[in-house]
Amino acid sequence: MITLKDMKKVFNAGKPNEFTAVRGVTVGIEDRKLTVLKGPSGSGKTTLLSIIGCMARPTAGRVFLDGRELTSLPERFLTGIRRSTFGFIFQQFNLIKGISAIENAMLPAYPTGRPRAEIRRRASELFELFNLGGKAEARIEWLSGGETQRVAIARALINAPAVLIADEPTAHLDSILSREFMDIMASLKREGMTIVMASHDPIVYESPAVDRIIEMRDGGVVGEVAS
């Protein structure tokens, strides 16, 4: 359960281009549910997502993870928690070119100090799960859109996180791949994963897998729909 209280995020404070991305939001993310942050670009949903995912610290307000306050934790600790609790999927997938697919998937686990062989085993298992078995050593550039998507998901799951965070994951996908993506999300949720997504794609927020939609506009929450 992730809770944000009066959370505010300001960029370039005190400068002429000061910009408030999120203003005074209080929200709680429930476990094992799929929550979608819906809103146009500039609504602050990406910023909110990054705070939920412990990628950034709020300018004001407080953040709690399962009751533990994270607000003023130094980056070192925050990153440690983030690595083991959260998995990330980005709009452009953001895989690293020039290394193999499986290495890409292994990267988030490198700083944990787990033995390489163990990490590789886990990555292979995930690849099998997502039908990528034959593509482990392939370069990213050679993969199809759907395969890239699944490699990105595998990478997000390498550290066995409890929460999956996805930022506009279907922005560069066609309808078929988008629906496929939501199917994968649904099955992950069934296995107990908490999922938070930011999207303005109807295929996402109209999916039956979605439990709750939080609507955002101009940095604030304007509505909520539970399904």
Partner 1 sequence: MLHPTVIALMVGSFLLCVMLLISSAHGVRILRKWDLQSGSELQLELERRTYLVSMLLAYALGFQLVSLFLFIYTADDLHRLFVGAMCAAGTLNVNPFGYPTLVLKVVNFLFAAVWLIMNYADNRAHDYPLIRKKYGYLLVMMPCILAETVLQTLYFLDMKPNVITSCCGTLFSEESSSVTSGIAALPSIPTKIAFYTATLLTIISGWMFWRSGKGGHFFSVVAPVMFVVSVAALISFISLYFYELPTHHCPFDILQREYSYIGYLMYVALLGGGATGIGVGVLMPFRRIESLSSVVPRLQRLLALISSVLYLGFALISTVRMLTTNFRLEGY
Partner 2 sequence: MQWFERQRNIIDFTLSSLLRRKGKNAALLVVYISVVFVLSSVMFFTHAIRREASLVLQGAPEIVVQRVIAGRHDLIPVGYAQKIVGIRGVRSAKVRLWGYYYDAVSGANYTLMAPDQFSHGEGAVAIGSGIAQSGSYEEGTIVPLKSYNGTLLSFEIKKILTGASELVNADLMLMAETDFRSLFGIGPSLATDIVVEVMNPREVATIAAKIVRLLPDTRPIIRDEILRTYDSVFNWRGGILLVIFFGGVLAFIIFAWDKASGLSAEEKREIGILKAIGWETSDIIVMKFWEGLSVSLAAFLGGITLGYLHVFFASSSLFEPVLKGWSVLYPDFRLVPFIDPLQVATLFMLTVMPYTVATVIPSWRAATVDPDVIMRS
Binding site for partner 2 (CB under 8 A): 46-47, 49-50, 55-56, 75-76, 79-80, 82-83, 88, 90-91, 94-99, 103, 107-116, 119, 155, 159, 167
Within 10 angstroms of residue 95's Cβ, the number of other Cβ atoms is 19
Contact mark string toward partner 1, 48..67, x via CB under 8 A: ---------xxxx-------
User: Which range binds partner 1 by CB under 8 A, 10-18, 27-35, 94-102, 191-199?
Assistant: 10-18
Nearer to partner 2, 82 or 189 (CB): 82
Minimum gap (Å) between residue 24 Cβ and partner 1: 14
The DSSP secondary-structure symbol of 114 reads -
Residue 185's Cα: distance from chain center in Å? 12
Task: Scan for tokens 């990406």, then name that residue.
Answer: 46
Going by C-alpha positions, the residue among 23, 5, 39 that lies closest to residue 216 is 39
Minimum gap (Å) between residue 98 Cβ and partner 2: 4
SS3 210: coil
- Confirm or reject binding of residue 74 to partner 1 (CB under 8 A): yes
- What do you get for the CA distance between the two ends of the chain, in Å? 19
